[in-house]
Structure 1
Amino acid sequence: MTSAFWAQSPAARDELFATLRAVEEPIFCPREGTQGFYALTRHAQVVEAARVSKVFSSEPTAVRLDDLPSSAKKYGGSMESMDDPRHARLRRIVSRSFAPRMLARFDEALRTRVTGLVNELTDRRECDFVEAVATPLTLQTVFSMMGIPESAGQSLRDAADVVLAISDSGSLDFGNPEERESFIKEKFAHLHGFMKELGEVRRERPGEDLVSALVHANVDGEFLTDLELGRFFTLLIAAGVETTRHALSHAIHLLTENPAQREPLLDNLGEHLSTAVEEIVRCATPVTWHRRNLTSDYTLAGHPYRQGDRVILYYCSANRDEQVFNDPHAFNITRSPHPHVGFGGPGPHFCLGAHLARRQMTVLLEELCTRLPGFHATAQPTWVKASLVNGVERLPCSIA
């Protein structure tokens, strides 16, 4: 699927995926000059491939159609592109820091941050929601949790944007391939170098932050190395920050476009807010796909796949599968049960930050619905032209 396809609106892409889901035979997508892949578009396919991780491998990469450029291989081996036992070891070490009881320590700071952002909305009355709310909320939340000073934010964000962009073949278009690789390496090195220095400080002087917890985490005598810490930070800032800010922007767009769903939410937050968050994640599907690489022959949904094949798990299509979701293109805040794969499929790679993402969405929507019930989008979103992330670049909004 070409960059031109991903430049279309989400609605236009949904139409094609609906057609692909109706095809019985495996869908092979050839690619000029490199290896093609099979598109897994149905919910059952995506869920099974996610669960059978010994066959559907995340290595050498889960986030690129091609393998990483040589300049980025040292830095790019994050958890999402690892298999067990390496993946299980790292997840054991970091998962304690993302448990709900650990994240509860930051809840008061999150509420204070949300209150401040909504106060600013009241003063401004009109804004670009992405710039005014979604981006500062998610960045400040992660930076605060990790003990990162806000002064470092912009350079880290710029580097993270590059990490995301290399997942799309048409991004970072340099005339000289060597110049492109050098630029990518520079941005990866900046993220890793920053975290290495902060990790050294926290080993000597631990605080009440996530980096301190990570560098002192001891699971069966194992600690994170500097390289592993840098890789995890790259994943967190690029995936965690970006995907949650896009989910928040999708939330405002969806509630504006669907007043029949907005009204019951405003009338009864206690009953509908948690299911509304799940429905927003399903409809948004901020991470649209992940790649898997077959380690052995396997029959999936009655069709044989061969060792060495590449498959793409299209979460965006699985979340609109007519066999699983009634009226899948409708936004329905009361939808239940809700087996969406908006945080990835079940299995070892289910999103580690799902609880944090849900918490940020819940607190912000609760504050907006309570204090600014008339807050709405005043124009259609400007979509990010990328395949890996279903992103919102700009969303004009008003409080009345």
Structure 2
Amino acid sequence: MTVADMTENLLDPGLFPAEQGPPHHLFDKWRATDPVHWNPPNPHYVNAMPGSSGVKGFWVLTRYKDVYDVSMNQELFSSHENGIVVWDFEGEGLERQRANFMSMKPADHTAVKKVIMPPFMPKALNEIAPQIERLAAEIIDSVASRGHCEFVFDVASRLPIATFCELMGIPEHYRNQVADYGNALADVESRSTHSLDPTIGLFGIAQELAAEKRRNPDGRLLSAMVNDTTLNLDPMAINQFFLVFAMAGHETTRSTAVHFINLMNRFPDQYALLRSDFDAHIDNAIDEVLRYTSTTTNFTRTALADTEIGGHPVRKGDKIYMSYAAANRDPAMFQDPHRFDITRENAKRHLAFGAGPHICVGARLAKMQLRALLAQIVSRIPDIHPVGEPEWLRSVWFNAIIRMPVEFTPELA
């Protein structure tokens, strides 16, 4: 491997912290000259995903159209064959990945989606909106008089965790542990700091809760999954469902809230515009932050036959890395894509939540939570600003800030 290869390899968990986000200089170069780019294995990358057999090479898609087209074509580009992450699995590890809701066969995925979608539909969300707004107010109540806090865990993480646990039917005494394991699960590269593999920890909680839901169904999301007689999901599928929601249920929302505050500090003209008419700009501003930051930077698919992507040949069995971060900065879709503009007319066309059959089921809920939390922040502690440099997650998967102390004028009682 050449020096250039080593410094331009997406299997470098130090890349995002060094760039303070995805390496857009690489994506821009590849999109212009090599839009279906081969990323080779990185001999210096220490595989940290439990159960994985390592990480092979993969094709990186940097054009919006290619990412979108592959996302829409499950018949040719499978999320089931080898899972949805860059890590490769074999045997029991692969079967565990395939039990994941996001990696099920298309028919199974559709069946599960029908069961879990009701709480995420507009009518159901409207019913819980007052509760979300109340929780958002309570979170800001807890810090507003102090004049400072650590924004990631004192503020940003609390609303999505509480909402996720309510939807799932997770009792109060489990919630801190579920949140800790969910955060550790996302922190693939340094989870060795935890004494227990977070996957095992979450599986244990999932089985305890599943047994309780069978004895006492409560109509919540986990109960629906456990007791639905049409699905008859086995324990591993329940475990994986719980695991996915423990991470995805708050990771994107938490990180987007943190990115939002960081970006408004970096672009004060945009923040002034938002504050001039919050209701008029907030929804589009959230979409623009999602586009600009792409918290979940990628998922993968596997080609089920020899084919081509954007005119580039791809062989059966090849792994395809769909770079949402690159797609969301493609100038063919977004004019002047590296400009942060909360009035961008097509900001909502971002792929931060994916596309096609596997688009994030909680996208509407995430936006609702962000709107509620940001409304409290902008109206009550509007001069909030980071103190020092935020700390980025060391990862090949998530673009996330994991520590961001902030200061603001204390709210008077």
TM over 0.5: yes
Moved more, 377-386 or 110-119: 377-386
Shift of 1:377: 2.2
1:270 aligns with 2:274: no
SS in 1 for 2:88: coil
Check 1:16–1:376 CA distance in 2 against 1; reply closer, same or farther (3 A cut): same
Shift of 1:190: 2.8
Check 1:32–1:189 CA distance in 2 against 1; reply closer, same or farther (3 A cut): closer
* CA distance in 1: counterparts of 2:142 and 2:291, whole angstroms: 29
Check 1:260–1:6 CA distance in 2 against 1; reply closer, same or farther (3 A cut): closer
Name which of 296, 299, 312 aligns with 1:303.
312
1:19 aligns with 2:40: no
| Equivalent in the alignment of 1:316 | 325
* CA distance in 2: counterparts of 1:368 and 1:66, whole angstroms: 38
* CA distance in 1: counterparts of 2:210 and 2:306, whole angstroms: 42
| Equivalent in the alignment of 2:257 | 248
The letter of the residue matching 1:193 is G
- Paired residues, number: 386
Name which of 397, 402, 406 aligns with 1:388.
397
Mapping 1:13-92, distance limit 5 Å: 13-24=23-34, 26-31=36-41, 35-68=56-89, 72-73=93-94, 75-76=96-97, 77-92=99-114
Among all aligned residue pairs of Structure 1 and Structure 2, give the percentage whose two residues are the same amino acid. 28
The letter of the residue matching 1:195 is A
1:75–1:189: 8 Å Cα contact kept in structure 2? no
* CA distance in 2: counterparts of 1:12 and 1:238, whole angstroms: 20
Shift of 1:171: 4.3
Shift of 1:30: 1.5
1:190 aligns with 2:190: no
SS in 2 for 1:39: strand
Q: TM-score under structure 2 normalisation?
A: 0.86
Check 1:329–1:145 CA distance in 2 against 1; reply closer, same or farther (3 A cut): same
- Structural RMSD (CA): 2.4
1:342 aligns with 2:352: yes
Check 1:205–1:116 CA distance in 2 against 1; reply closer, same or farther (3 A cut): same
* CA distance in 2: counterparts of 1:31 and 1:90, whole angstroms: 34
* CA distance in 1: counterparts of 2:58 and 2:383, whole angstroms: 46
2:353–2:360: 8 Å Cα contact kept in structure 1? yes
2:16–2:22: 8 Å Cα contact kept in structure 1? no
Check 1:256–1:227 CA distance in 2 against 1; reply closer, same or farther (3 A cut): same
Shift of 1:25: 5.9
The letter of the residue matching 2:39 is C
* CA distance in 1: counterparts of 2:183 and 2:407, whole angstroms: 27
The letter of the residue matching 2:201 is H
The letter of the residue matching 2:74 is S
Q: TM-score under structure 1 normalisation?
A: 0.89
Shift of 1:224: 4.1
Moved more, 367-376 or 231-240: 367-376
1:201 aligns with 2:212: yes
| Equivalent in the alignment of 1:177 | none
Moved more, 44-53 or 20-29: 20-29
Shift of 1:22: 0.8
Q: Which runs of 5+ in 2 are unaligned?
A: 1-9, 44-54
| Equivalent in the alignment of 2:167 | 145
Moved more, 307-316 or 370-379: 370-379
Name which of 96, 101, 112 aligns with 2:118.
96
